Every structure is written in C-alpha cells, then in structure tokens.
Amino acid sequence: MKFLGIYPPDIQWNGEPRRGGTPLGLLSILGNLRVNGHDVSFLDAKMEGYNTFQEFPANPDVFIYGLTPEQIKERVAKEKPDVVGVSLIHATTWHTTKSVLRAVKELNPNIVTVVGGHQATGAAEYILENCPDLDFIILKEGEETTNELLQALGTRSDLSQVRGIAYRQNHKVLFTEPRGIIKDLDTLAEPAFDLMKKNLYERPELAHYGTPRADSFLNIMISRGCPRGCDFCTSTQFMGSKVRILSSGRVQSLVEPMNKFGYGEFIVEDDEILMLRQTNPESFKAYLTALKKTGKPWMIDAGLYYPRITEDFAEELADAGCYRVFLPVENPNINLMHSTGKYKELQTTENAKKKIKEISKILRKSRIEYYNSIMTGFPEQTREMILRDIDFARFLREECGSMFVAFFFTHPYVGATLYEMTSQLVDTSRKWETHPEYGFFVKPVYPGLDYSAEQLEEMCKQGHEIVNGNVQLSVGYQWNKR
Ligand code: B12
Ligand code: SF4
C-alpha cells in the first residue's frame, strides 16, 4: 500500500520561539513500512511551511505555521496515497492535526487516515469521538501495529484482530487487545532519514537553548523507556519502565549513516542516558565512540537526572564531544518532588542545593555548560512557594553558573498519572481540547491555593527577568559573555 506520513503544522504564542526537531517516531514508522514492502513518502508540513503563517481561530495571541490545508491537499493529491498517517505526539498540534485530516478527507474520502503518538494514545477515545475525519489511532509504539493494520486493510481482514488500535464502529470507539512493547529494538529498521529534505532543517534556532555549534542538527535516540515514572510525564506509561536499548553493533550502524547525511550537530533525546550507562555499558560506550567518531559537536537536550552525575560520566561525555547538557531540576521543594516520584535520594532542599553545586563544578571541570528548568505551578502550591522557586532559579544562575533557567509550568498531559488526579482543576479556557496553545510549558494551567493561573504567569514572568536578565534563548546567545 502507499503510505504518506505527515508531520502536522504547529502553533506558537506570539513572541515565543518556534520549536521543532527530527520526527524520529514518524520516520521510524516509514522506515519499517518500507522494509515490509510498502511504498512510503514523507511530508513535513510544519517545516515546509515554516514561514507560512495563519491565524489561530481559538486565540488571536497565537499563530499557526506550516503548510496551509490547501497546500497540503495539493501535496496529497500528487502523492495519491492509500493511507495518510499523522504524528500527534504533542497536545499542541491537536487542532492542526484535525485540519490536516479534514484536508485529506475533503480531497478524497477513501484515503484511510491514521494518527499515532503520545497525545493520540492518551486521548484516543476523545479524539475519535471528536474527529470524524480520523479512521484509526495507533496506540503507543507504532511500527509493528501500523504494518499489521496496512496488511489487514490490504487483505480486507478482520480489523479487530490487529492488536493496539482504536477505531469507530457503529458510533462507538473500540479498542483492540493491547500490544506489548517492542522487546528488542534491534528488530526495527532504520528510521527513514533519507526522506527528510535537509535544507528544511538548517535552522539552528530550533535546536535547543543557547547557541548551537552548527547550522543544522539531527535528534537521536538509541533507547526507549524510563524507570522513574514521574507523575507529570508520559514516558514510562507510554514506553515502559524498562529501558530498552539498541545493541552496540546497531548503535554504530545507526550513527554512521546518520552522520553521512551531513547535519552539523547531534542532539541526544534519550530519556535516561545515565541509566543506559549503568544497565547497558556496551551500548552506551558504542554510542559515545560513534558520536566521537563523527567529529561533530553534540549535546543532551533530553534532561539528565542530575543526582546521579559523576566525574567519570562528565569526562566521558566531554571526551566524546558533548558540549552542553540540560538539567531539569524540576522543583526545589523535595517533599513535592517525592510526591511526584522524583529525587528520592535527596532528603532536603539543602541536600538538593549542595548536590547541584557539586554537579555544576563537575560539569565546569569537564567544560560542559548546562541550562536548567524549574518546574512550577503544581496545583498544591502557594504564592510563598512560587517565590521560593524563583529564589532557587536565582541560586542556579548566580551561584552555580547555569547558562539559563527556564520556568516550566506543570501540565496534566493525557496518559500521565497527574492527568487522572488533577485535570479537572484546569479551567476550560486552558484545557488542551479547545485550547492546545496551553499545552506549552510556558503557559500555566493550574491555579494554586492562593493565586490564579494568570497571577502565576505574571509572577514567573517577573522571576524570569530577575533570574535570566536579557539572555537570548537561542541563536546569538554568548556563553562567554556572562
Ligand atoms: C524530541 C522531543 C521534542 C522535540 C521535537 C520533536 C519533534 N519531532 O518535533 C522538541 C524539543 C522541540 C520538543 C518540544 C516539546 N515537547 Co516534546 N518530546 C520529545 C521527546 C523527548 C522525544 C520524541 C521522540 O522522537 N521519540 C522517539 C520516537 C521513536 O518515539 P515517538 O515520537 O513516541 O514515536 C512513536 C509513537 O509515538 C508512534 N508515533 C509517533 N508518530 C506517529 C505517527 C503515526 C502516523 C503513527 C502510526 C505512529 C506514530 O510510533 C512511534 C514509533 O514507535 C518526547 C518524549 C519521548 N521520550 O518520546 C517528548 C514529548 C513528546 N514532548 C512533550 C512536550 C510536552 C513538549 C513541549 C510541549 C514542551 C514545551 N517546551 O513546551 C514542546 C512542544 C513544542 C513543539 N511545538 O514542538 C511531551 C508530550 C506530552 C503531550 N501529550 O503533549 C513528551 C511525550 C514528553 C513527556 N514525556 O512528557 N519535544
Ligand atoms: S520526567 Fe524524565 S525521569 Fe521522569 S519519567 Fe519522564 S523521562 Fe523519566
């Protein structure tokens, strides 16, 4: 069958930087369908229309960027696919995904439409009930399921036998038997990086906080899963609590060809890279060796679990070419962190401060710079606690030498434990279903015990100015000028 994979247009608040990356999940789906004999093509509607702006009907302070529905129709008409698959990993692209699906069905109602990703999986029932242009949702990891679904569609077999999908039948949403995780990542084909148009990704401003070292980048991951299960995150629920990793041989055969595409920098997105080193030292070593061999700069944007960083680890990273890491310290209130499942090894805020200072010295010694995020705006917080969070951010900048501290607001992402516990606290004007623009970390959604979401936003805006001054978040930021 002919399958067209589409990464949808995106949205952003006026004044906020656009974000993006390598659509690893969709490219993996395409690579795997291709080895199973399907004819595949790829349209990055976000990057192809990076400078095409449209109004976002639900909110005048937000814009859409990406190909217009008419342009998407033209491209789909040219490709003539049997099936169109759209990546819905982020809540923020829910409205644009709906527009893509509408365009496809307007063009030809016989094209089968499929979506997959964290957001699609977490909210499957709601999405199928509210999007008549969508036929199937692929739940969780998509490679095997999409292949089986295409086979079943091609041979007109019983769809209820395809494990891991959701669809509508007689106005009801049906879920088939769940599919387990893919046990051995080595069984997967390489993601179809060759289908990316390189010039579209020559946008260093999309890379990460701070100035990147090259003018283009590829995101990379050699593992899936995270054992920590923090209640505000969907990774463990989605990819499992056991870290799965490519074998050392496969790591090499992933990095080497990726390098040949000529992108200037690698951005590591593995959820728990420290755990990789501990549980799969061979693959971890192969990762560093392969990255070093490319001679290219690279950094870790996925977040390092800072209490576990050691001198050896930092030295190994630096030796292999790593120049920057992200340390999401989350929140200084250790009891709050323990209640989310995180930082059990730290007993007090003083412990956390001491640890971060120690880690910052270790990183500095290895010449690795770092940026932090503070996660704030948990529903049980008070104004006084928020002020303490801002003080902590100041400590990170002024006493530890962090290059930038982002204020990230906690959200109930569908599929995360926090969603079950707290989504009803979010005001309807900030719920993802009608207002996906509130799915970004930069916008709070919970009121606290003695402040509103608007007041929280204002407090943190001021905190941000005090803590970061006029630091430029992306290209142009000069680390040496601090
Ligand atoms: C890399 C990354 C980014 C990159 C961009 C990635 C991209 N392609 O554009 C950057 C850094 C820009 C980013 C930004 C944000 N991100 Co992000 N990101 C990730 C991360 C770490 C990895 C994604 C990835 O490539 N995974 C590897 C592939 C193999 O897995 P996958 O994408 O899940 O794909 C599989 C399935 O989902 C499915 N699938 C995926 N697409 C499709 C399509 C079809 C057709 C089918 C059938 C199946 C399918 O099959 C794939 C293969 O098994 C994930 C966490 C994670 N570990 O996955 C968070 C994650 C997706 N991000 C998240 C969030 C919250 C954000 C932000 C909103 C945060 C913020 N700063 O405000 C922003 C959104 C900004 C934006 N507009 O892009 C959340 C999403 C939660 C939600 N429901 O919305 C995640 C899940 C993190 C988390 N655990 O909470 N992100
Ligand atoms: S926040 Fe990080 S450590 Fe916690 S579950 Fe998600 S990926 Fe794992």
| CA 271 – ligand 2 centroid, Å | 6
* Model confidence at 471: pLDDT above 80: no
Rounded to a whole number of angstroms, the distance between the first and last alpha carbons of the chain is 55
Burial of 431 (C-beta count, 10 Å sphere; 0-12/13-18/19+): middle
**Residue 169 shares a structural domain with residue 313:** no
**Residue 443 shares a structural domain with residue 354:** yes
Residue 169 φ then ψ, to 5°: -140, 125
Instruction: At 375, list the tokens.
Output: 């996660």
**What is the per-residue pLDDT for 474?**
52
CA distance 331 to 190: 37
**Residue 244 shares a structural domain with residue 115:** no
**Residue 142 shares a structural domain with residue 223:** no
Question: Is 330 part of a structural domain of the chain?
Answer: yes
226 CA closest ligand 2 atom index: 8
Question: Is 198 part of a structural domain of the chain?
Answer: no
Question: Is 217 part of a structural domain of the chain?
Answer: yes
In this structure, the residue with its CA closest to atom 7 of ligand 2 is 271
Question: Is 242 part of a structural domain of the chain?
Answer: yes
Mapped onto helix, strand or coil, the DSSP state of residue 106 is helix
Question: Is 320 part of a structural domain of the chain?
Answer: yes
Instruction: At 288, list the tokens.
Output: 């560093």
Decide which of 122, 152, 175 is a domain's last residue.
175
* Model confidence at 28: pLDDT above 70: yes
330: alpha, beta or left, given left = phi > 0 and alpha = psi -120 to 50? left
**What is the per-residue pLDDT for 342?**
86
**Residue 294 shares a structural domain with residue 171:** no
Question: Is 478 part of a structural domain of the chain?
Answer: no
CATH number at residue 417: 3.80.30.20
Decide which of 132, 152, 175 is a domain's last residue.
175
Angle at CA 64, nearest 5°, toward 102 and 29? 60
Question: Is 474 part of a structural domain of the chain?
Answer: no
**What is the per-residue pLDDT for 476?**
40
CA atoms within 13 A on the CB side of 79: 25
| CA 482 – ligand 2 centroid, Å | 30
pLDDT level of residue 70 (50, 70, 90 thresholds): very high
Q: Could you tell me what percent of the chain has a pLDDT over 90?
A: 90
CA distance 319 to 336: 36
| CA 88 – ligand 1 centroid, Å | 8
**What is the per-residue pLDDT for 470?**
73
Using one digit for the tens of pLDDT, what is the confidence trace for 107-160?
999 999 999 999 999 999 999 999 999 999 999 999 999 999 999 999 999 999
CA distance 482 to 479: 6
**Residue 171 shares a structural domain with residue 212:** no
Q: Between these two residues, 52 and 482, which has the higher pLDDT value?
A: 52
| CA 417 – ligand 2 centroid, Å | 12
Overall domain count for the chain: 2
Mapped onto helix, strand or coil, the DSSP state of residue 414 is coil
**What is the per-residue pLDDT for 472?**
61
**Residue 264 shares a structural domain with residue 165:** no
Question: Is 200 part of a structural domain of the chain?
Answer: no
Average pLDDT over residues 213-219: 93
**What is the per-residue pLDDT for 341?**
82
DSSP code, position 137: E
Q: Ligand 1: which of 2, 29, 90, 275 to mutate, judged by most atoms within 8 Å of the beta carbon?
A: 90
Using one digit for the tens of pLDDT, what is the confidence trace for 241-267?
999 999 999 999 999 999 999 999 999
Q: Give the DSSP H/E element, type plus range, for residue 324.
A: strand 322-330
| CA 291 – ligand 1 centroid, Å | 23
CA distance 332 to 347: 11
pLDDT level of residue 481 (50, 70, 90 thresholds): very low
By DSSP bridging, strand 83-87 and strand 112-116 are: parallel
Instruction: At 389, list the tokens.
Output: 């969070």
**What is the per-residue pLDDT for 208?**
79
Burial of 105 (C-beta count, 10 Å sphere; 0-12/13-18/19+): middle
Please state, rounded to an integer, the average pLDDT across all residues of the chain. Answer: 94
CB under 6 Å to ligand 1: residues?
5, 10, 19-21, 23-26, 28-29, 85-87, 89-92, 114-119, 122, 138, 141-143, 146, 219, 221, 233-235, 269, 271, 302, 413-414, 439-441
pLDDT level of residue 207 (50, 70, 90 thresholds): confident
414 CA closest ligand 1 atom index: 83
The whole-angstrom distance between residue 379's C-alpha and the CA centroid of its chain comes to 23
Q: Ligand 1: which of 3, 13, 101, 118 to mutate, judged by most atoms within 8 Å of the beta carbon?
A: 118
Instruction: Return the closest-CA partner of residue 398 out of 365, 366, 372, 367.
Output: 372
**Residue 464 shares a structural domain with residue 378:** yes
**Residue 297 shares a structural domain with residue 156:** no
CA distance 128 to 166: 8
**Residue 144 shares a structural domain with residue 213:** no
By DSSP bridging, strand 112-116 and strand 136-138 are: parallel
Q: Which domain holds residue 37?
A: 2-175
CATH number at residue 127: 3.40.50.2300
pLDDT level of residue 380 (50, 70, 90 thresholds): very high
**What is the per-residue pLDDT for 339?**
87
According to DSSP, the residues that pair with 374 across neighbouring strands are 330, 407
Say if residues 92 and 413 touch (Cβ distance below 8 Å).
Answer: no
**Residue 167 shares a structural domain with residue 211:** no
- The single residue listed with the structure tokens 């009121």 is 447
Using one digit for the tens of pLDDT, what is the confidence trace for 392-412?
999 999 999 999 999 999 999
Using one digit for the tens of pLDDT, what is the confidence trace for 284-321?
999 999 999 999 999 999 999 999 999 999 999 999 99
Threshold 0.85, pTM exceeds:
yes
**Residue 165 shares a structural domain with residue 281:** no
Average pLDDT over residues 17-27: 94
* Helix spans in 197-302 (H): 235-239, 248-260, 273-279, 281-294
Using one digit for the tens of pLDDT, what is the confidence trace for 416-465?
999 999 999 999 999 999 999 999 999 999 999 999 999 999 999 999 99
| CA 367 – ligand 2 centroid, Å | 26
Average pLDDT over residues 45-58: 96
Instruction: At 126, list the tokens.
Output: 């709601």
Other C-beta atoms lying within 10 Å of the C-beta of residue 421: 12
